A and B are shown apart, each in its own frame.
Chain A
């Protein structure tokens, strides 16, 4: 038995080593960092222990800007992407011809490099001295006033960020919802149809309750994902997000850690923990709400 135990642990050893070094230890360490005041990364010394790092971060205007940006992004993209994905998935599951083609096309953004395609979005939306860009051209077709979405007013930049985020997150949501819809037994629809339920009533009374676990799963992961937004913003506005006023919380963490403004792992840790607290709280709220509304 002893030999058997030993052998089992041998199988687990690589995984345990990796997890211990790169997950468990960092997890403890990040808390330690966040409490070490005046940490100097060059000399690896600190002056005291306390919550100064948290209060510094919470007063930092860049952090507050990042929180504001992230919140706006979350509030706009999570409901919008879930709703739109629901609409598209319902449409998708009501057709037979071309269905597979549409599904494949819709999934494409999932396998693309966020940074690379972000560049395409940038040139589509950007207005330079040489060209107004395609989107502004379209706006002018409808008689609108062009605007630089990349270096222009705040709302325009936020619009592109939300738009690009939407484009990136839709494939996953469409995929999850189409497979949820496909797993609903067709008999329920037939029964409801025979009972003269209108399509809208079938959707709200039958379809939605049946796929509610998937919808809530998407809302929860959607919140988590949107709170961690970063690389899409970098793709659109470049690495200096603070200058563009478009930083996100995760962006703030990395900026504190590295780059021109970096070298403050303590502040980064504090910000990361604050982010984790926010996400954790929202997830708990989501789970509580879903328990009341998901019938499974």
Chain B
């Protein structure tokens, strides 16, 4: 019988963190890249969590900030010879600013309308990127290569993404404990009631989206430098957006570590599955999606907490059934 106490969880978590910190010294290139990829999705899922999980606004086109950040970094580094660090900061702030500007009108929309507006916004940004010469248009843009050998590049991007992820987690943790977090949750629960209670939703929603955009933009910028080439079709994609939501839902919406665990789980599973079933991975990912939303709509963590059993699973299904 393994009963994991709070202390035990801390120990496991601490051990895992230590492992992640030392991983680049222990693992080969592929695993480092895989972990870096997991961190990337972890940040993305966490930033979606801030606007969608806490605030209840389903920004399904959140990848638009990813593309924006990626392009800001790419353009600044190639056309204006900015250093990566400076370009990245501008990318994060730029994405944040952009979200605030478009957020004022768009965040007034609710439910489905907001979802579609964010998706259209992403399409719009892609179309614009395609048509302005500075971005290289449909031909894409190549970035300077990270100086140094394979190991150095792997180290750099690994620790950079890891640091970003930790930053995002701390930020979310702080939000969840602060007044901000209560306001976000109040908005998700009932926006009208929240405003009656003296919470003016507009600035809070805008802040939530700006934070979300900030992290997504930073990730996009790092990604661009990491991949060293981006084109509009690659930078503004719907598929990763959906994956971010899957990760968030699986891990648990509106929790600090849920999206991160979801991201790790999905990326790890898909990596195991992909290589083995070349022609079936769409089917498998699709099945995972379907099973997750039917059986664990509140997340895997929630299920664990309540105990894993058939009757509990079915109870979860009954809840949402028509």
Q: Do the two chains bind?
A: no
